[in-house]
Structure 1
Amino acid sequence: MDNKSIIKKLKLTIQLMELHEENPFKIRSYQSAVNTIDRGEISLVELDQDELQKINGIGKSIAEVIRSLIKSGTFPLLEELLSNTPEGLLEVMQLKGLGPKKIKTLWKELGITSTHELMEACQSGQVAGLKGFGQKTQDTIIAALEFQASNVGKFLYAEIEETSAGLDKLLKERFGENNVVQVGEYARNHEIISDLEWLIISEDRPATHKQINSIEGLVQNRKLSSPYTWVGQLTSPEITLRFRLCTENALVSEFLIRTSSPEHLNLPITDTETMAHLYRKKPYSSPQEAYEEAGMQYIPTELREGYFEVEAAKENKLPKLVENGDLKGILHNHSSYSDGKHSLREMAEQCRDLGYEYLGISDHSQTAVYAGGLDVAKIERQHQEIDELNKELAPFKIFKGIESDILGDGSLDYPDEVLAKFDFIVSSIHSVLNMDTKKATARLLKAIQNPYTTILGHPTGRLLLRRDGYPIDHKTIIDACAKYNVAIEINANPWRLDLDWRWVHYALTQNVKIAINPDSHDKNTYNHMHYGVLVGRKGGLSKDMTLNALNKEEMEAYFENRKSKIKQ
């Protein structure tokens, strides 16, 4: 049990208490404890009962709950609530847009205790007939159920990264460092992973199968397996595994095939030959040799998706892809001035200590009341603190930014005289997300046309595996960013990774700069930059086209140049 696990259990308890209409004051005390733990830095596991009670927001009863969670993973109230709740209802509680009151109505009035029963009730129209629901709510529930079903067994890249690395290490220890290579969608750095796949050199396939089956936590699916492929699942997390067995002579060819999408494999390189033909042509000593055979540039693994890479490689126009070390600063971050966990000083010092030259602070704007958005007085206090910290922390620099909400009509939520006080503006949509393509595109276009917009933040507002983004006309938006010299963000939060990598190349062809930002709400998530870099690389992003690959002096000049044009 760590702090994160404790918070998860407490949040489940709050949901169940709300479902069963427990005392609201009791619910509030649990929520207060969650907020305290989430914002705190101290590991609760190391504290005894008395030490826990000394933390503001954690009383005696919550301290006892935390100690019980640390010892056993549960506590009496949670067990009681779970025993009074049908197991399938826990799945229903995970659906977006369904609060405890509506779930209780579904449960008590329609007897719904699972997502399967809920879908049937929606399809028969029973849900629309309930008081307080209606057709629109029913349609929203159906969409949420379909979205949930489509993502069963899928994981974020970041969620499965540690598991993948652990398995890779174990397999190499078991079969030899040079006899195991990871392939599949994970090797191509996909944002969502549905299975993990490796190649294993094997001269005795039955013996290799036996060795794989001896690994703890792996369960084979014998119906899907064959002599050449072991198919099964990890017990935790429950993700599909594939181990493909091949000879040493075939390893390079198999690696090229298994690290390529079907679309890439079908791309032609001559009138009679595709990429698949090239990879199968003969045994190669290295992946690079296959490309030399065809007189092409080497195509990095993450680019083998069937978009632009083959034509570019044939013309020797593939760029050197951006790397983590190319980034000199980060521009979209939140401090405790709005909904961030850490102070401005803490955010800046951590950024500096990680080797960056600058930090762009861009707290939420005044419309985001739920996130402590900054009114004018707060902005002035923050800017004063930034000026003081810049003197103290020099040559490191904090740039004055804001994440300005794009309102329903596309305008930003400060007047021009306030926007003019910032070095840069990240313009983002956070509210009224239920839009069609025409509305969403028009809303973004107006924000892009605002001369103060420097960066378009998380363009579609998506949350991977949680909700789809609002639909936009990507080409129209990118073309507008090119016209008005607005950079587009790759939001590196693993749940967002927005702009989608599939549109990065088009942005680059239109000479639109890309800003990779972690959208950090605490100093410990700067490492999310890594995931943004992976997305950029998949789209063919180079250092030259990455906005925050500019050093501090170059970034200062970039901001000043844009602002000078506004004044003209």
Structure 2
Amino acid sequence: MELHNENPFKVRSVANAAFKVDKLPYPIYTKSLAEMEQVDGLGKSIAAKINELVQTNSIQELAELVNQTPPGIIEMMQIKGIGPKKILVIWKDLGIDTVGELYYACNENRLIEAKGFGLKTQEEIKKNIEFSIASNGRFLYAKIEKFADDLLELTKKTLNTELIYITGQFRRKCEIIDSLDFLIVGQASEEVMQKFISLGLENAEIIGQELKCKTESGLNVQFSFCNAEDLGKELIIKTGNTEHTEALLSILAGSDLKNKTEEQIYEITGLPFIEPELREGINEIELAKSNKLPELIQYSDLKGSLHNHSTWSDGIHTLEEMASYCKNELKLEYFGICDHSKSAFYANGLNELRVAAQHREIDKLNKKLAPFRIFKGIESDILYDGSLDYSNEVLASFDFVVASVHSILNMTEEKATERLIKAIENPYTTILGHPTGRLLLSRSGYPIDHKKVIDACAASNVIIEINANPLRLDLDWRWHQYAISKGVLLSINPDAHRIEGNLDMKYGTFIARKGGLSKLNCLNAMTLEQIVSVFEQQKIKCQLEK
């Protein structure tokens, strides 16, 4: 009722009645309607509702309110620390109606300036959402990375051995993990079980040569054991997915794999070594057979950070702080600022006057930080009809433009695809940002025809973003090779809203490696001189198309 702005006195009377019923020394359902009406603090109207609930297991007025409420808002009401008043602001003022969107808004600091919120409240909401997400047993890679590394080191110390390896989904750098797998050289035994209990894994049980347990947060953890002579073979079996390992083992049928390393086993097959990230049973073995495996990109290959936000829109740190961090701490050559455009009112988007003011600041900072370079970018909202958020005159003032969808996500695949393609065909679009808008474990991306979108990018010479935020990792790695085959460059962009957000490029690199990306196909693996040339070529293209 409070969520739908019902009369405050009516809301208070229901709340008080709930308190009264909870404190009664007897269950209310045992009473007749007449007796309910006599209970102090109820009255005829609320007594009738209670009686209706007892008789029919529902309240008509409540059912009507629920029908007027998006399912995501009802789910939001289950999150600890968020009451109806705050949800009303989130829903009506910020336009957020799912838990996934709320979580991402916390990451983008959108709640800080909202009425009744602040940094402390935002962080508390974020933590509570993370707990809720974690309860379903599936976890973002980035969220369990430290736990996995710590558990690996603790297990080595407890068992007094270095011969323990992380395998499975985690070693393949999968974006979502539902099982954390380890391989131990040794034998499962009662003594080993007792040592695992000392790690706090009380629910562990040994099944054959495997020890299985589940953490308090719901993460499945599995330890497998093997003999030293079988380590290479078991690392292959326990790392690759079923399709990869079955295909590889069929090639190896009859081969002696004792005391062979992973590298030596791949040599026996006549194939080059296949990096763990690629072992997904898609086409990596065929690529290996034809000697077409890519030399995968590394985090150290990145030369700059593009698509970042500052206090000019919804970031935590100033433009200078963001750029200086990339220069001095990350030792990068360039930085691309992409604060939100004017339609993103919820994120303090820049109108034309503020764009000009930011550009003046960038000019000053470029003199101060030289030879480090700040590029004038913008994350321009793709509007409903596929147009961008500024006039061509304003778009022409930027060094590069990231075009992204942030609103009106409920479209058919045909309409959503048309919308993206129109934006891609705009001569001022440099990079297509987070193409599907997905939020992993929180919100599915809007449906698009990936092939048509990638083909359009190839035709218009538009780069596609791999959004490195662990919640997004969008473009999905399963489409990277298709994009590369069409000659489309990809860019590993952090979408950072604070200085530490630039470190997310590590996760973007992990997922780019899964997709088979090399530094030759990556925009921000280019040197400063090379990327300046790319941006200048686009400006020439825009001038020719005027």
After TM superposition, the score normalised by the length of structure 1 is 0.74
Partners of 2:236 and 2:245 within 8 A in 1: no
Unmatched 5+ residue regions in structure 1?
1-16, 24-79, 85-107, 112-120
1:195 and 2:175 matched: no
CA separation in 1, counterparts of 2:327 and 2:60? 57
User: What residue in structure 1 maps to residue 213 of structure 2?
Assistant: 232
User: What residue in structure 1 maps to residue 500 of structure 2?
Assistant: 524
User: What residue in structure 1 maps to residue 86 of structure 2?
Assistant: none
User: What residue in structure 2 maps to residue 371 of structure 1?
Assistant: 347
The SS at the match of 2:225 is strand
User: What residue in structure 2 maps to residue 133 of structure 1?
Assistant: 67
Unmatched 5+ residue regions in structure 2?
9-18, 24-47, 52-56, 76-96, 102-131
User: What residue in structure 1 maps to residue 14 of structure 2?
Assistant: none
CA separation in 2, counterparts of 1:174 and 1:168? 10
Deviation for aligned residue 1:207: 2.7
Q: Which range is displaced more, 338-347 or 146-155?
A: 146-155
1:476 to 436, 444, 452: 452
Q: Deviations over 1:128-177 (max 9, x none)?
A: 9514625x946997998999899701111111011001001011222344
The SS at the match of 1:363 is coil
Deviation for aligned residue 1:199: 0.8
Partners of 1:128 and 1:137 within 8 A in 2: no
The SS at the match of 2:260 is coil
Judging changes above 3 Å, is the alpha-carbon distance between structure 1 residues 537 and 125 closer, same or farther for their aligned structure 2 residues? Answer: farther
1:304 and 2:279 matched: yes
Partners of 1:337 and 1:372 within 8 A in 2: yes
Q: Deviations over 1:68-100 (max 9, x none)?
A: xxxxxxxxxxxx9xx99xxxxxxxxxxxxxxxx
What letter corresponds to residue 301 of structure 2 in structure 1?
D
The 5 Å alignment of 1:135-284 reads 137=70, 152-203=136-187, 205-216=189-200, 218-222=201-205, 225-235=206-216, 237-267=217-247, 274=250, 277=252, 282-284=257-259
Deviation for aligned residue 1:274: 2.7
1:389 and 2:365 matched: yes
Partners of 1:492 and 1:516 within 8 A in 2: yes
Deviation for aligned residue 1:211: 2.2
The 5 Å alignment of 1:531-546 reads 531-546=507-522
CA separation in 2, counterparts of 1:322 and 1:441? 29
The SS at the match of 1:332 is strand
The SS at the match of 2:202 is strand
Q: Deviations over 1:177-214 (max 9, x none)?
A: 44211111011101111121101111463332332223
User: What residue in structure 2 maps to residue 358 of structure 1?
Assistant: 334
What letter corresponds to residue 234 of structure 2 in structure 1?
E
CA separation in 2, counterparts of 1:198 and 1:399? 44
What letter corresponds to residue 181 of structure 2 in structure 1?
E
CA separation in 2, counterparts of 1:132 and 1:211? 51
Judging changes above 3 Å, is the alpha-carbon distance between structure 1 residues 127 and 255 closer, same or farther for their aligned structure 2 residues? Answer: farther
The SS at the match of 1:318 is coil
Judging changes above 3 Å, is the alpha-carbon distance between structure 1 residues 162 and 18 closer, same or farther for their aligned structure 2 residues? Answer: farther
What letter corresponds to residue 226 of structure 1 in structure 2?
I
Judging changes above 3 Å, is the alpha-carbon distance between structure 1 residues 367 and 139 closer, same or farther for their aligned structure 2 residues? Answer: closer
Judging changes above 3 Å, is the alpha-carbon distance between structure 1 residues 125 and 513 closer, same or farther for their aligned structure 2 residues? Answer: farther
User: What residue in structure 2 maps to residue 444 of structure 1?
Assistant: 420
Deviation for aligned residue 1:340: 0.9
Q: Deviations over 1:56-78 (max 9, x none)?
A: xxxxxxxxxxxxxxxxxxxxxxx
CA separation in 1, counterparts of 2:526 and 2:254? 38
Q: Deviations over 1:12-51 (max 9, x none)?
A: xxxxx98999x9xxxxxxxxxxxxxxxxxxxxxxxxxxxx
CA separation in 2, counterparts of 1:466 and 1:18? 23
CA separation in 1, counterparts of 2:135 and 2:415? 27
Percent identity over the alignment is 45
Deviation for aligned residue 1:565: 1.4
What letter corresponds to residue 467 of structure 1 in structure 2?
R
Partners of 2:241 and 2:280 within 8 A in 1: yes
User: What residue in structure 2 maps to residue 380 of structure 1?
Assistant: 356
Partners of 1:365 and 1:405 within 8 A in 2: yes
Partners of 2:230 and 2:260 within 8 A in 1: no
User: What residue in structure 2 maps to residue 332 of structure 1?
Assistant: 307
Deviation for aligned residue 1:246: 1.2
CA separation in 2, counterparts of 1:561 and 1:149? 44
CA separation in 2, counterparts of 1:348 and 1:426? 18
CA separation in 1, counterparts of 2:50 and 2:340? 41
Q: Deviations over 1:440-485 (max 9, x none)?
A: 1111111111111100000110111111111111111111111111
User: What residue in structure 2 maps to residue 485 of structure 1?
Assistant: 461
Partners of 2:100 and 2:442 within 8 A in 1: no
CA separation in 1, counterparts of 2:191 and 2:281? 37
User: What residue in structure 1 maps to residue 405 of structure 2?
Assistant: 429
CA separation in 2, counterparts of 1:259 and 1:126? 54
Partners of 2:134 and 2:218 within 8 A in 1: no
The SS at the match of 1:496 is coil
CA separation in 2, counterparts of 1:296 and 1:554? 34
Structure (1 or 2) with the larger CA radius of gyration = 2
CA separation in 1, counterparts of 2:259 and 2:457? 44
Judging changes above 3 Å, is the alpha-carbon distance between structure 1 residues 306 and 140 closer, same or farther for their aligned structure 2 residues? Answer: farther
Deviation for aligned residue 1:291: 1.0
CA separation in 1, counterparts of 2:233 and 2:134? 32
Partners of 2:193 and 2:204 within 8 A in 1: no
Judging changes above 3 Å, is the alpha-carbon distance between structure 1 residues 382 and 220 closer, same or farther for their aligned structure 2 residues? Answer: same
CA separation in 1, counterparts of 2:193 and 2:235? 20
Q: Deviations over 1:341-371 (max 9, x none)?
A: 1111111111111200000001000100110
Structure of higher RCO (CA pairs closer than 8 Å, 6+ residues apart): 2
